[in-house]
Amino acid sequence: MRPVILRRGLVALFAAAVTFGAITQAQAETLRIGYQKYGTLVLLKAKGTLEKRLAAQGVDVQWTEFPGGPQLLEGLNVGSIDFGVTGETPPVFAQAAGADLLYVAYEPPAPHSEAILVPKGSPIKSVAELKGKKVVLNKGSNVHYLLVRALEDAGLKYTDIQTVFLPPADARAAFERGSVDAWVIWDPYQAAAEQQLQARTLRDGQGIVDNHQFYLATKPYAQKNPGVIKTLVEEVRAVGEWSKANPEDVTQQVSPLLGLPADITLTSVKRQGYGALFLTPEVVAAQQKIADSFYQLKLIPKPLSIKDVIWTPPAAVAKAQ
Protein backbone atom coordinates (compact mmCIF):
# COMPACT_ATOMS: atom_id res chain seq x y z
CA MET A 1 0.00 0.00 0.00
CA ARG A 2 2.81 2.38 0.82
CA PRO A 3 4.13 2.64 -2.82
CA VAL A 4 0.56 3.37 -4.00
CA ILE A 5 0.13 6.08 -1.40
CA LEU A 6 3.51 7.51 -2.36
CA ARG A 7 2.59 7.53 -6.04
CA ARG A 8 -0.72 9.22 -5.25
CA GLY A 9 1.12 11.80 -3.20
CA LEU A 10 3.55 12.49 -6.03
CA VAL A 11 0.68 12.80 -8.52
CA ALA A 12 -1.09 15.27 -6.22
CA LEU A 13 2.12 17.24 -5.72
CA PHE A 14 2.74 17.35 -9.47
CA ALA A 15 -0.83 18.51 -10.11
CA ALA A 16 -0.46 21.25 -7.51
CA ALA A 17 2.81 22.34 -9.07
CA VAL A 18 1.23 22.49 -12.53
CA THR A 19 -1.70 24.50 -11.15
CA PHE A 20 0.63 26.93 -9.38
CA GLY A 21 2.69 27.29 -12.54
CA ALA A 22 -0.44 28.01 -14.56
CA ILE A 23 -1.54 30.66 -12.06
CA THR A 24 1.89 32.27 -12.09
CA GLN A 25 1.95 32.24 -15.89
CA ALA A 26 -1.54 33.74 -16.02
CA GLN A 27 -0.48 36.54 -13.69
CA ALA A 28 2.63 37.20 -15.77
CA GLU A 29 0.47 37.45 -18.92
CA THR A 30 -2.06 39.89 -17.47
CA LEU A 31 -1.61 43.61 -18.04
CA ARG A 32 -3.22 45.49 -15.12
CA ILE A 33 -4.24 49.02 -16.08
CA GLY A 34 -5.27 51.74 -13.64
CA TYR A 35 -7.59 54.44 -14.97
CA GLN A 36 -9.68 57.31 -13.70
CA LYS A 37 -13.31 58.09 -14.40
CA TYR A 38 -12.34 60.44 -17.20
CA GLY A 39 -9.75 60.47 -19.98
CA THR A 40 -8.49 58.54 -22.98
CA LEU A 41 -8.12 55.26 -21.10
CA VAL A 42 -11.86 55.24 -20.40
CA LEU A 43 -12.46 55.37 -24.16
CA LEU A 44 -9.84 52.72 -24.81
CA LYS A 45 -11.51 50.44 -22.28
CA ALA A 46 -14.91 51.00 -23.89
CA LYS A 47 -13.65 50.29 -27.42
CA GLY A 48 -12.00 46.97 -26.57
CA THR A 49 -9.36 47.33 -29.30
CA LEU A 50 -6.46 46.93 -26.87
CA GLU A 51 -7.77 43.59 -25.64
CA LYS A 52 -7.99 42.30 -29.22
CA ARG A 53 -4.44 43.33 -30.10
CA LEU A 54 -2.90 42.03 -26.89
CA ALA A 55 -4.79 38.74 -27.10
CA ALA A 56 -2.67 38.00 -30.17
CA GLN A 57 0.38 38.44 -27.92
CA GLY A 58 -1.09 36.12 -25.29
CA VAL A 59 -1.84 38.98 -22.88
CA ASP A 60 -5.09 39.59 -20.99
CA VAL A 61 -6.11 43.06 -19.76
CA GLN A 62 -7.48 43.86 -16.31
CA TRP A 63 -8.88 47.33 -15.54
CA THR A 64 -9.06 49.03 -12.13
CA GLU A 65 -10.67 52.43 -11.52
CA PHE A 66 -9.13 54.97 -9.11
CA PRO A 67 -10.63 58.24 -7.80
CA GLY A 68 -7.49 60.29 -8.56
CA GLY A 69 -3.89 60.27 -9.69
CA PRO A 70 -2.29 59.98 -6.22
CA GLN A 71 -4.38 56.91 -5.41
CA LEU A 72 -3.62 55.38 -8.80
CA LEU A 73 0.11 55.79 -8.34
CA GLU A 74 -0.11 54.31 -4.88
CA GLY A 75 -1.63 51.27 -6.57
CA LEU A 76 1.27 51.24 -9.00
CA ASN A 77 3.74 51.63 -6.13
CA VAL A 78 2.39 48.65 -4.19
CA GLY A 79 2.22 46.48 -7.30
CA SER A 80 -1.55 46.19 -7.78
CA ILE A 81 -1.34 47.69 -11.32
CA ASP A 82 1.30 47.79 -14.04
CA PHE A 83 0.28 50.87 -16.02
CA GLY A 84 -1.83 53.98 -15.57
CA VAL A 85 -2.38 57.65 -16.39
CA THR A 86 -2.25 60.74 -14.16
CA GLY A 87 -1.65 64.45 -14.36
CA GLU A 88 1.72 66.18 -13.95
CA THR A 89 2.04 66.28 -10.19
CA PRO A 90 1.21 62.76 -8.89
CA PRO A 91 4.32 61.16 -10.47
CA VAL A 92 6.53 63.70 -8.68
CA PHE A 93 5.08 62.81 -5.28
CA ALA A 94 5.23 59.11 -6.13
CA GLN A 95 8.88 59.29 -7.20
CA ALA A 96 9.72 61.21 -4.03
CA ALA A 97 8.06 58.40 -2.04
CA GLY A 98 10.28 55.82 -3.72
CA ALA A 99 7.87 54.39 -6.29
CA ASP A 100 9.63 52.26 -8.90
CA LEU A 101 7.96 53.91 -11.88
CA LEU A 102 8.82 55.06 -15.39
CA TYR A 103 7.25 57.77 -17.53
CA VAL A 104 6.19 56.10 -20.78
CA ALA A 105 4.29 58.72 -22.80
CA TYR A 106 2.40 62.00 -22.50
CA GLU A 107 -0.58 63.83 -23.95
CA PRO A 108 -0.38 67.36 -25.43
CA PRO A 109 -1.05 70.31 -23.09
CA ALA A 110 -4.58 70.94 -21.81
CA PRO A 111 -4.24 74.15 -19.75
CA HIS A 112 -7.97 74.95 -19.83
CA SER A 113 -8.83 71.55 -18.34
CA GLU A 114 -8.04 72.62 -14.74
CA ALA A 115 -8.85 75.80 -12.85
CA ILE A 116 -9.19 77.67 -9.59
CA LEU A 117 -12.90 78.16 -9.02
CA VAL A 118 -14.83 80.43 -6.66
CA PRO A 119 -18.57 80.37 -5.86
CA LYS A 120 -20.77 82.45 -8.15
CA GLY A 121 -21.48 84.99 -5.42
CA SER A 122 -17.90 85.29 -4.19
CA PRO A 123 -16.44 88.79 -3.89
CA ILE A 124 -13.00 87.41 -4.85
CA LYS A 125 -12.03 88.69 -8.29
CA SER A 126 -8.34 87.75 -8.54
CA VAL A 127 -5.85 85.16 -7.33
CA ALA A 128 -4.14 87.87 -5.28
CA GLU A 129 -7.32 88.14 -3.19
CA LEU A 130 -6.90 84.52 -2.03
CA LYS A 131 -4.40 85.68 0.59
CA GLY A 132 -5.47 84.26 3.94
CA LYS A 133 -8.34 82.31 2.34
CA LYS A 134 -9.15 78.60 2.46
CA VAL A 135 -8.44 76.78 -0.80
CA VAL A 136 -9.44 73.13 -1.22
CA LEU A 137 -7.72 70.66 -3.55
CA ASN A 138 -6.69 67.04 -3.86
CA LYS A 139 -3.17 66.89 -2.45
CA GLY A 140 -0.55 65.77 -4.94
CA SER A 141 -2.92 65.96 -7.92
CA ASN A 142 -2.24 67.88 -11.15
CA VAL A 143 -3.97 70.99 -9.78
CA HIS A 144 -1.46 71.25 -6.93
CA TYR A 145 1.09 72.72 -9.33
CA LEU A 146 -1.53 74.99 -10.92
CA LEU A 147 -2.16 76.49 -7.48
CA VAL A 148 1.56 76.97 -6.83
CA ARG A 149 2.12 78.71 -10.17
CA ALA A 150 -1.03 80.84 -9.97
CA LEU A 151 -0.02 82.13 -6.52
CA GLU A 152 3.51 82.90 -7.71
CA ASP A 153 2.13 84.73 -10.74
CA ALA A 154 -0.07 86.82 -8.43
CA GLY A 155 2.85 87.69 -6.15
CA LEU A 156 1.76 85.41 -3.31
CA LYS A 157 3.61 82.68 -1.46
CA TYR A 158 2.18 79.19 -1.09
CA THR A 159 2.05 79.82 2.67
CA ASP A 160 -0.12 82.91 2.15
CA ILE A 161 -3.21 80.73 1.81
CA GLN A 162 -4.80 78.00 3.93
CA THR A 163 -4.78 74.72 2.01
CA VAL A 164 -7.48 72.15 2.69
CA PHE A 165 -6.83 68.70 1.22
CA LEU A 166 -9.88 66.71 0.13
CA PRO A 167 -10.70 64.35 -2.78
CA PRO A 168 -13.01 65.78 -5.48
CA ALA A 169 -16.38 64.64 -4.12
CA ASP A 170 -15.68 65.91 -0.60
CA ALA A 171 -14.10 69.06 -1.99
CA ARG A 172 -17.22 69.86 -3.98
CA ALA A 173 -19.37 69.37 -0.89
CA ALA A 174 -17.16 71.78 1.09
CA PHE A 175 -17.26 74.24 -1.82
CA GLU A 176 -21.07 74.11 -1.99
CA ARG A 177 -21.40 74.56 1.79
CA GLY A 178 -19.20 77.61 1.69
CA SER A 179 -16.65 75.99 4.01
CA VAL A 180 -13.85 77.03 1.64
CA ASP A 181 -13.26 80.11 -0.45
CA ALA A 182 -11.93 78.46 -3.60
CA TRP A 183 -11.59 75.04 -5.20
CA VAL A 184 -8.74 73.96 -7.47
CA ILE A 185 -10.06 71.18 -9.67
CA TRP A 186 -9.84 69.45 -13.05
CA ASP A 187 -12.36 68.24 -15.63
CA PRO A 188 -14.97 66.85 -15.61
CA TYR A 189 -15.51 68.07 -12.03
CA GLN A 190 -14.49 71.52 -13.20
CA ALA A 191 -17.04 71.64 -16.03
CA ALA A 192 -19.73 70.24 -13.75
CA ALA A 193 -19.11 72.94 -11.13
CA GLU A 194 -19.07 75.66 -13.78
CA GLN A 195 -22.43 74.60 -15.23
CA GLN A 196 -24.28 73.11 -12.25
CA LEU A 197 -23.09 75.52 -9.55
CA GLN A 198 -22.30 78.49 -11.80
CA ALA A 199 -18.84 78.47 -10.24
CA ARG A 200 -16.61 81.21 -11.62
CA THR A 201 -13.14 80.56 -13.00
CA LEU A 202 -10.59 82.68 -11.17
CA ARG A 203 -7.66 81.30 -13.16
CA ASP A 204 -7.10 78.28 -15.37
CA GLY A 205 -3.78 76.90 -16.52
CA GLN A 206 -3.39 79.03 -19.64
CA GLY A 207 0.00 80.73 -19.64
CA ILE A 208 1.29 79.18 -16.41
CA VAL A 209 1.06 75.36 -16.67
CA ASP A 210 0.90 72.77 -19.46
CA ASN A 211 -1.30 70.26 -17.61
CA HIS A 212 0.12 67.24 -19.42
CA GLN A 213 -1.32 63.81 -18.81
CA PHE A 214 1.36 61.16 -18.31
CA TYR A 215 1.22 57.43 -18.92
CA LEU A 216 3.36 55.55 -16.42
CA ALA A 217 4.38 51.96 -15.81
CA THR A 218 6.22 50.08 -13.14
CA LYS A 219 9.88 49.87 -14.08
CA PRO A 220 10.02 46.04 -14.09
CA TYR A 221 6.96 45.76 -16.33
CA ALA A 222 8.10 48.36 -18.87
CA GLN A 223 11.58 46.87 -19.12
CA LYS A 224 10.33 43.30 -19.54
CA ASN A 225 7.42 44.03 -21.89
CA PRO A 226 8.42 46.69 -24.45
CA GLY A 227 6.15 45.14 -27.07
CA VAL A 228 3.11 45.48 -24.82
CA ILE A 229 4.00 49.08 -24.00
CA LYS A 230 4.39 49.82 -27.72
CA THR A 231 0.94 48.42 -28.40
CA LEU A 232 -0.52 50.39 -25.50
CA VAL A 233 0.87 53.70 -26.71
CA GLU A 234 -0.28 53.01 -30.27
CA GLU A 235 -3.82 52.25 -29.11
CA VAL A 236 -3.95 55.26 -26.78
CA ARG A 237 -2.75 57.49 -29.62
CA ALA A 238 -5.30 56.05 -32.06
CA VAL A 239 -8.17 56.56 -29.61
CA GLY A 240 -6.94 60.09 -28.93
CA GLU A 241 -6.84 61.04 -32.60
CA TRP A 242 -10.33 59.63 -33.09
CA SER A 243 -11.54 61.53 -30.02
CA LYS A 244 -10.12 64.81 -31.26
CA ALA A 245 -11.99 64.40 -34.54
CA ASN A 246 -15.24 63.12 -33.02
CA PRO A 247 -15.99 64.98 -29.76
CA GLU A 248 -19.76 64.38 -30.02
CA ASP A 249 -19.28 60.62 -30.39
CA VAL A 250 -16.89 60.63 -27.46
CA THR A 251 -19.46 62.50 -25.41
CA GLN A 252 -22.13 59.89 -26.14
CA GLN A 253 -19.79 57.16 -24.88
CA VAL A 254 -18.38 58.96 -21.86
CA SER A 255 -21.43 60.83 -20.54
CA PRO A 256 -23.19 57.73 -19.14
CA LEU A 257 -19.93 56.51 -17.59
CA LEU A 258 -19.48 59.81 -15.79
CA GLY A 259 -23.13 60.18 -14.86
CA LEU A 260 -23.03 63.72 -16.23
CA PRO A 261 -25.22 65.52 -18.78
CA ALA A 262 -23.94 65.58 -22.36
CA ASP A 263 -23.32 69.34 -22.42
CA ILE A 264 -21.00 69.16 -19.40
CA THR A 265 -19.19 66.13 -20.79
CA LEU A 266 -18.74 67.78 -24.18
CA THR A 267 -17.07 70.79 -22.57
CA SER A 268 -14.62 68.48 -20.82
CA VAL A 269 -13.96 66.44 -23.95
CA LYS A 270 -13.12 69.51 -26.00
CA ARG A 271 -10.68 70.85 -23.39
CA GLN A 272 -8.68 67.64 -23.16
CA GLY A 273 -5.35 67.04 -24.97
CA TYR A 274 -5.15 64.11 -27.40
CA GLY A 275 -2.37 62.27 -29.20
CA ALA A 276 0.01 60.33 -26.92
CA LEU A 277 3.74 60.58 -27.70
CA PHE A 278 6.95 59.31 -26.16
CA LEU A 279 8.58 61.93 -23.95
CA THR A 280 10.72 64.69 -25.43
CA PRO A 281 13.58 66.56 -23.69
CA GLU A 282 11.33 69.63 -23.47
CA VAL A 283 8.59 67.73 -21.63
CA VAL A 284 11.15 66.16 -19.30
CA ALA A 285 12.53 69.65 -18.53
CA ALA A 286 9.05 70.97 -17.77
CA GLN A 287 8.41 68.06 -15.42
CA GLN A 288 11.77 68.68 -13.74
CA LYS A 289 10.69 72.26 -13.06
CA ILE A 290 7.63 70.96 -11.22
CA ALA A 291 9.76 68.62 -9.12
CA ASP A 292 12.19 71.43 -8.28
CA SER A 293 9.34 73.73 -7.26
CA PHE A 294 7.85 71.18 -4.89
CA TYR A 295 11.22 70.47 -3.31
CA GLN A 296 11.84 74.18 -2.74
CA LEU A 297 8.42 74.44 -1.10
CA LYS A 298 9.26 71.42 1.08
CA LEU A 299 6.25 69.56 -0.30
CA ILE A 300 8.55 66.65 -1.17
CA PRO A 301 11.48 65.56 1.05
CA LYS A 302 14.28 65.36 -1.51
CA PRO A 303 15.39 66.65 -4.92
CA LEU A 304 14.46 64.45 -7.88
CA SER A 305 15.94 63.70 -11.28
CA ILE A 306 13.10 63.19 -13.74
CA LYS A 307 15.39 62.06 -16.58
CA ASP A 308 16.34 59.03 -14.50
CA VAL A 309 12.79 57.65 -14.63
CA ILE A 310 12.00 58.05 -18.33
CA TRP A 311 11.36 54.86 -20.27
CA THR A 312 13.57 54.67 -23.33
CA PRO A 313 11.81 52.57 -25.95
CA PRO A 314 13.90 50.06 -27.90
CA ALA A 315 14.84 51.25 -31.40
CA ALA A 316 12.13 49.19 -33.08
CA VAL A 317 9.51 50.69 -30.78
CA ALA A 318 10.75 54.26 -31.14
CA LYS A 319 10.54 54.05 -34.95
CA ALA A 320 6.84 53.27 -34.66
CA GLN A 321 6.08 56.69 -33.22
- Reply yes or no on whether the pLDDT at 307 is more than 50: yes
User: Which of 139, 141, 142, 108 has its CA nearest to residue 40?
Assistant: 108
Rg of the chain (C-alpha set):
22
Rounded CA separation 69/269 (Å):
19
Task: Confirm if 287 and 87 have CB atoms less than 8 A apart.
Answer: no
- Reply yes or no on whether the pLDDT at 27 is more than 80: no
Say what the pLDDT of residue 315 is: 55
Q: Do domains 9-102+213-252 and 111-204 have the same CATH topology?
A: yes
Fold of the domain spanning 9-102+213-252: D-Maltodextrin-Binding Protein; domain 2 (3.40.190)
* 257 — pLDDT class (breaks 50, 70, 90): confident
User: Which of 177, 180, 97 has its CA nearest to residue 138?
Assistant: 180
Task: Confirm if 182 and 130 have CB atoms less than 8 A apart.
Answer: yes
Question: For 171-181, what is the mean pLDDT?
Answer: 98
Rounded CA separation 33/252 (Å):
23
Write the pLDDT tens digit of every residue in 258-281: 889 999 999 999 999 999 999 999
- According to DSSP H, which parts of 34-167 are helical? 40-47, 49-55, 69-78, 89-96, 142-153
- Reply yes or no on whether the pLDDT at 127 is more than 90: yes
Residue 258 falls in which region: left (phi positive, over 0), alpha (psi -120 to 50) or beta:
alpha
* 2 — pLDDT class (breaks 50, 70, 90): very low
* DSSP annotation of 310: B
Does the model's pTM come out above 0.95? no
Sign, Cα dihedral of 275, 77, 138, 168: positive
Torsions phi, psi for 60 (to 5 deg)? -90, 160
Write the pLDDT tens digit of every residue in 39-75: 889 889 988 999 999 999 999 999 999 888 888 999 9
Say what the pLDDT of residue 140 is: 87
- Reply yes or no on whether the pLDDT at 26 is more than 80: no
Domain residue limits, the chain: 9-102+213-252, 111-204
Contacts of 160 (CB under 8 A, 6+ apart): 130, 131, 132, 151
Q: Is 214 exposed, middle or buried (0-12, 13-18, 19+ CB in 10 A)?
A: buried
Question: For 278-299, what is the mean pLDDT?
Answer: 95
Write the pLDDT tens digit of every residue in 182-239: 999 999 999 999 999 999 999 999 999 999 999 999 999 999 999 999 999 999 999 9
Residue 188: cis peptide before it, omega within 30 degrees of 0? yes
Domain 111-204 homologous superfamily, CATH: Periplasmic binding protein-like II (3.40.190.10)
Q: What is the mean pLDDT of the chain?
A: 88
| Chain centre to alpha carbon of residue 40 | 10
